Amino acid sequence: MEKKEMMYEGKAKKVYSTEDKDYVVIYYKDDATAFNGEKKGQIEDKGVLNNNITSMLFELLEKKGVKTHFVKKISDREQICRKVDIIPLEVIVRNYAAGSMAKRLGLKEGMELKTTVLELSYKDDSLGDPMINDYHAVGIGAATFEELNEIYSVAKKVNDILSEFFLKSGIRLIDFKLEFGKFNGEILLADEISPDTCRFWDAETGEKLDKDRFRRDLGNVKEAYVEILKRIEDEIRA
Query: For binding to ligand C5P (CB under 6 A), which residues are involved?
Result: 90, 92, 98-101, 129, 175-177, 197-199, 211
Closest CA to 53 of 79, 34, 31, 33: 79
CB of 119 to ligand C5P, least distance (A): 7
Judged by beta carbon, residue 105 or residue 238, the one nearer ligand C5P is: 105
CB of 75 to ligand C5P, least distance (A): 24
In DSSP terms, 91 is beta-bridged to 120, 178
Cβ–Cβ < 8 Å for 97, 113:
yes
CB of 99 to ligand C5P, least distance (A): 2
**CA separation for the pair 202, 212 (Å, rounded):** 13
CB of 60 to ligand C5P, least distance (A): 18
Tell me which residue has its CB nearest to ligand C5P: 99
The stretches of 64-198 forming alpha helices (DSSP H) are 99-105, 134-139, 145-168
CB of 97 to ligand C5P, least distance (A): 9
CB of 175 to ligand C5P, least distance (A): 4
Q: What is the DSSP letter of 54?
A: H
Judged by beta carbon, residue 14 or residue 94, the one nearer ligand C5P is: 94
Judged by beta carbon, residue 3 or residue 191, the one nearer ligand C5P is: 191
**CA separation for the pair 206, 202 (Å, rounded):** 5
Cβ–Cβ < 8 Å for 139, 120:
no
CA 181 to each of CA 37, 81, 88, 162, 165: distance values in angstroms, whole numbers, following the listed order? 23, 11, 9, 20, 24
Helix axes 46-63, 221-237, angle to 10 degrees: 30
Judged by beta carbon, residue 3 or residue 79, the one nearer ligand C5P is: 79
Judged by beta carbon, residue 5 or residue 35, the one nearer ligand C5P is: 35
Judged by beta carbon, residue 24 or residue 162, the one nearer ligand C5P is: 162
**CA separation for the pair 109, 121 (Å, rounded):** 21
